[in-house]
Structure 1
Amino acid sequence: MLTRRQFLTRLAGGCSLLLWPGVTTLADGAGQPQRLVVVLLRGAMDGLTAVPSYGEPRFEELRGELAFPDKAQEVMRKLDDTFALHPSLEFCHQLFRHQEFAVVHACGLPYTGRSHFAAQDCLENGSDSPDGSRTGWLNRAVGELQGQQGLSISSARPLLVRGEAPFVTWSPTPGKHGPEDLAHRVADLYDEDERLSEPFAQALTSQQIVPDSRGGGEQLAGVMQSAGRFLSAENAPRIAMVQDGGWDTHARQNAVLKRKLRGLDTGVKRLRATLGDDWRHTVVVIVTEFGRTVGINGTRGTDHGTASSVLLAGGAVRGGKVHGEWPGLSRLRDNRDLIAAQDMRSVLKGVLRDHLHIDTKALDARVFPDSRDARPLDGLIA
């Protein structure tokens, strides 16, 4: 008989089994085709770099050298006359053209401070304050689904998945890594150091340790691929959460996000390939705790801001569109931040209501407590 650890290890390696050990009540819910993957980017992704509003009259003026990194204006991955995707999001742009990728820009939280920890707590607990709940909204959402359980691919148990509903936590087992993998991990540590990051990158190139074609973000891409293997197995969880750090770009933002966004793009690509036919029933929600300042700081990065963008992928997404309201750049919060035009909980509610069919009253009262004013955003699901 396989232990749970042995089962998870084999499944993560590509083995598909018929039973999920220790769970006998999944029959009602496990047969449902809908799948949900929540990707939490910790550190505050700059939404205006991931989804630049290039059509704004003041965009280039306000953003400076962040506006079009690496002459991105010449290879702009346009979504419409106002928005584009960062050049590293090549596969996501392909999905957008096939109506399987969408953007909700200018999303914020009830908490409007600039603390990573407080903002992450508010995002994960789904309430109107960082200390509003000791359980996570994703756990409570799973609790609303008959016979379902969730999966957290993480080294610890994030607040997002804590609660009474059953959640399995799986951490990729560290194995033997080559010099390329180690180099990328060390590069993450050097990225924000203005003096050392460039010499380190040059050293890697000169020693041919890290080929340019590999880019970066292998850790996130691998975890998202593992999530796809889990979600495509028989009688396994249909809801998963993954996370990634390193999005706090106070320095050298163009170089850091070029690599980080490429890793995210690769992760979406691998997830789609691994899910196969199940992709058409899948929604991937990519969120971060807050955005960053519109203007550049003294170390070629950005500081903590307010609103950011939510990215949606999957065959069940109503893609090919930038959803929600756009506040523009003519007026900024505190003369520095993108204004939040929609509550991030409205986006999450729209997905949970229309994709997982969770009742609006349950969303307002239990999944996101006392959130009736944050109405579910319509039209996100095909």
Structure 2
Amino acid sequence: MSIHRRHLLGLMGSSAAFGAFGTAHAAGGRDPRFVTIILRGALDGLSAVPPVGDPDFERVRGDLATIKADAVSLNDLFALNPAMPQFARLYKAGQGAVVHAVASPYRERSHFDGQDVLESGHEKTGYTRSGWMNRLLTVMPKGRAIPIKGLGVGATTPLVMRGEAEVLGWAPSSLAPVDPDLPLRLMALYEQSDPLLLKVLTEGIETGKIAANMTQTNARGGSADPAVMVQMAQGAANLMAQAEGPRMAALAFDGWDTHTQELPRLARLLGGLDQAIAAFETTLGPVWQDTTILVVTEFGRTVNINGTKGTDHGTGTVAFLAGGAVKGGRVIGNWPGLKDAQLYEGRDLMPTTDLRAVIKGIAADQFGVSGAALSSTVFPGSEPIAPMKGLTA
């Protein structure tokens, strides 16, 4: 268990509020959960969900078009990377969907700037004090007994969940197990010398127990390791499944910058993402039915393959939706085509859907957040971007 130092004092005041989550329900008696998974490094949407029915697909993708042989058909135009059998199952069951040719407002190709725009929710770079998911917590409709709270998973809370709203921070430990008596000895020490830290330590230990739930995988890698992805998902889901737990969470998985040997690298990464989504489904149990998971990345990759069987930084990409609350079984968006004249700046998949419309749609449908709050606070200056309707039940 790892608890973020920057959240220690915030956790002090959270015990009573944390215990009343069970009374905070959305309109209609629902108790929704919303998870955002950020894929850092820029996912190639054309390899994750290849448009195998596009007449130009094989011409522009070169060796990367071999994915077509094993991809799982979604409809006449699109297929799914074979490394994602669990998502394919959810898609078939109506609990998974793809938004294709999607992008944030960012139109350059810097990972750091792209991630800042994606997570901050602002149209331009330079806004790193808060993220859109944290601000979403601040505009929840009134009338709840206790405000909905968030969870940031990872050694550092993702920017998307940072801000003024109080959030819980947790990360799976990469350290070797300690003597079981050590926490008790520390608690006895702080009981005499520092009651404030004692309370924080006690809650941190309890949070770690809930997140681990006796299912530690002993993963020791970073968040590009499929085993760590699963452990992060299990921990977050264990916390969110509690009647007193957080209802919104943010996770970040690294390693998606596939300049070389893209297909084998993506097979491993997408396999980890697939298992992480399945871990949410299994661990959340009955509350899966009210859950929406959104998987996003800072931008896409070039349409054409490079000289090292990879792709370079691009623009349009895909977003995944999964969960019992999702109206799935479909690929959403307007397909722009892959002819040279149809590409963004002659090299990238043209974005035809603004990612903010997707997020606004989820927030409006699941939590009843007003369009005005979404455009002024959550995504400042986004008034022309209407919430996408009908994404969730």
Bin of the TM-score, shorter chain as denominator length: 0.7 to 0.9
Aligned ranges 1:6-155 → 2 under 5 Å: 21-23=15-17, 26=21, 28-29=23-24, 33-69=31-67, 72-73=68-69, 75-132=70-127, 134-145=129-140, 146=144, 147-155=147-155
> Residues 161-194 of structure 1: CA distance to partner in whole angstroms, max 9, x if unpaired?
11111111112122349xx956x769x6xxxxxx
RMSD: 2.4
Q: Distance in 2 between matches of 1:148 and 1:181?
A: 30
Q: CA deviation at 1:299?
A: 1.0
Q: Distance in 2 between matches of 1:239 and 1:350?
A: 15
Q: Tell me if structure 1 keeps the 8 A contact 2:102–2:319.
A: yes
Q: Which residue of 1 is the match for residue 292 of structure 2?
A: 283
1:329 to 2:338 alignment: yes
Q: CA deviation at 1:129?
A: 0.7
Q: Distance in 2 between matches of 1:27 and 1:226?
A: 19
Q: Distance in 2 between matches of 1:336 and 1:144?
A: 39
Aligned ranges 1:259-298 → 2 under 5 Å: 259-298=268-307
Q: Tell me if structure 1 keeps the 8 A contact 2:158–2:251.
A: no
Q: Which residue of 2 is the match for residue 306 of structure 1?
A: 315
Q: Which residue of 1 is the match for residue 387 of structure 2?
A: 376
Q: Which residue of 1 is the match for residue 246 of structure 2?
A: 237
- AA aligned to 1:314 is G
Give the structure-1-normalised TM-score.
Answer: 0.83
Q: Which residue of 2 is the match for residue 226 of structure 1?
A: 235
> Residues 120-158 of structure 1: CA distance to partner in whole angstroms, max 9, x if unpaired?
000111111112462110001111125111000111122
> Residues 321-354 of structure 1: CA distance to partner in whole angstroms, max 9, x if unpaired?
1112111112111211000101111111111111
Q: Distance in 1 between matches of 2:297 and 2:338?
A: 20
Q: Tell me if structure 1 keeps the 8 A contact 2:171–2:232.
A: no
Q: Which residue of 1 is the match for residue 190 of structure 2?
A: none
Q: Which residue of 1 is the match for residue 185 of structure 2?
A: none
Q: Which residue of 2 is the match for residue 160 of structure 1?
A: 160
Q: Distance in 2 between matches of 1:326 and 1:352?
A: 25
Q: Distance in 1 between matches of 2:2 and 2:95?
A: 34
Q: Distance in 2 between matches of 1:325 and 1:266?
A: 29
* Cα distance change on mapping 1:133 and 1:366 into 2, 3 Å: farther
> Residues 6-51 of structure 1: CA distance to partner in whole angstroms, max 9, x if unpaired?
xxxxxxxxxxxxxx73536646526851001100110001111111
Q: Which residue of 1 is the match for residue 350 of structure 2?
A: 339
Unaligned runs of 5+ in 2: 4-13, 178-217
> Residues 277-321 of structure 1: CA distance to partner in whole angstroms, max 9, x if unpaired?
111100000000000001111111110000110100000001001
> Residues 213-255 of structure 1: CA distance to partner in whole angstroms, max 9, x if unpaired?
xxx6111111111111111012111111111100000111011
Q: Tell me if structure 2 keeps the 8 A contact 1:4–1:21.
A: no
* Cα distance change on mapping 1:373 and 1:248 into 2, 3 Å: same
Q: Secondary structure at the match of 2:392?
A: coil
Q: Tell me if structure 1 keeps the 8 A contact 2:172–2:231.
A: no
Q: Tell me if structure 2 keeps the 8 A contact 1:30–1:237.
A: no
User: Which stretches of structure 1, 4 residues or more, deviate above 2 A after TM superposition?
Assistant: 20-32
Q: Tell me if structure 2 keeps the 8 A contact 1:63–1:294.
A: yes
Q: Distance in 2 between matches of 1:52 and 1:246?
A: 20
Q: Tell me if structure 1 keeps the 8 A contact 2:62–2:305.
A: yes
Q: Distance in 2 between matches of 1:377 and 1:4?
A: 37
Q: Distance in 2 between matches of 1:371 and 1:280?
A: 30
Aligned length: 334
Q: Tell me if structure 1 keeps the 8 A contact 2:32–2:290.
A: yes
Higher mean C-alpha displacement, 308-317 vs 220-229? 220-229
Q: Distance in 2 between matches of 1:4 and 1:119?
A: 28
Q: Secondary structure at the match of 1:44?
A: coil
Q: Which residue of 2 is the match for residue 194 of structure 1?
A: none
Aligned ranges 1:181-196 → 2 under 5 Å: none
Q: Distance in 1 between matches of 2:358 and 2:243?
A: 29
Q: Distance in 2 between matches of 1:360 and 1:133?
A: 23
Unaligned runs of 5+ in 1: 6-19, 189-215
- AA aligned to 1:375 is A
Q: Secondary structure at the match of 1:266?
A: helix
* Cα distance change on mapping 1:351 and 1:141 into 2, 3 Å: same
